[in-house]
Amino acid sequence: MTKEAQIGVIGSGAMGTGIAQVAAMAGHNVVLYDNNTAALEKAKTGLSATFQKLQEKGKIESAAELLSRFSFAATTQTFAGCSLIIEAIVEKLEVKKNVFGEVEQVVGGDCILASNTSSLSITSIAAACSKPERVMGLHFFNPAPLMALVEIIPAIQTEPGLIAIARELMLQWGKLPVLAKDTPGFIVNRIARPFYGEAIRIYEEGIAGIGAIDKVMTEKGGFRMGPFTLMDYIGHDVNYVVTETVFQAFFYDPRYKPSFSQKRLLEAGWLGRKTGRGFYNYAQNAAVTDNITDMNTAGHTMERILAMLINEAVDALYLGVATVADIETAMTKGVNYPKGLLQWCDDWGASNCLAVLDGLYEKYHEDRYRASPLLRKHAAGNKKFV
């Protein structure tokens, strides 16, 4: 697909606008559509300000020229000349299916239709179209202009040749594409669930406090943000909904079970940083959270969360969700983990990771802590993943 190809983006929120910016800066003309004209105007103003800042920093030659590549549309009819449409709207399956069905009536027969969904079934979305073979997932990470990773997710109906086209296009856009099987959460949002869920479980059991868990994961684990800080940053309206969606999509597998603690924050409207309150209180002079007093407890906390993360990565490999290389790339570039989880398993030792999981299973007798057969196999044979 050349730079002459016109790109359409559905949804002018932060994600859609970010994807549109990436496409425009790669040389494409872009149609940004939203049925909310106020949201469209806000997106136009935001893009203009962004381009102006980039021009002032010498990163682009002309903000005006870049903005001129955009068409801001309140009707889907403007998609008629597009070669690729990327949908980035609310995470509701029926809404997405309806939009895809509507857009398909407008675009040409060879136009590729892609969803930016983070956890919904691409196969189900494709089934809403008369030509499901041209539908696929292109999952960007927020903020799209800064985050390199893009998950490419073919539906079972997707024409195989589209994978290579999508991969080449993402490379042209300066992105790092990885290929994921169409399973709930794909790579990143599947494997990352224990970073949040197990941290909350430890907190709910009173083993360690919010501040202590965050501190050990950043200072000892090397993560850029602790799980509670990150959940507040993402927003509980996003993070909790992804957890709930993945849990339901996996037929209520206890490994992905949501928590009441996070659901109550969502119900209260305490969505994190954007509302000034989440797991933390962001008001001025708010009380400081607890500090670590018992480093043994802190160390065990990190091992417990890390073992769960590694097990998810190993199981994703075992079930053919992605390759070793793509799993490692996804977790280091999509959520900025300090190193790939499979490499981490090699460094720690599969047998050590397995011992933590088996210890948790013995303690709780919950299927949540079942070890992947592939992890058990590597532990028994002292094998490496990377």
Could you give the residue numbers annotated as active site? Answer: 118, 139, 151, 189
Residues forming beta bridges with residue 10, ordered by sequence position: 33, 87
For the record, the structure tokens of 385 come out as 């993943």
Cα–Cα dist 96/229, whole Å: 30
User: Residue 256, Cα to own-chain centre: how many angstroms?
Assistant: 15
Cα–Cα dist 321/17, whole Å: 29
Inter-helix orientation angle 341-348/350-364, to 10°:
90
User: Coil, strand or helix: which one is 43?
Assistant: helix
In Å, the largest CA–CA distance within the chain is 63
Cα–Cα dist 277/302, whole Å: 25
User: Coil, strand or helix: which one is 87?
Assistant: strand
Cα–Cα dist 273/292, whole Å: 23
Residue 361 φ/ψ, nearest 5 degrees: -65, -40
> For residues 44 and 73, is the Cβ–Cβ distance under 8 A?
no
HSE on the CB side for 18, CA within 13 Å?
17
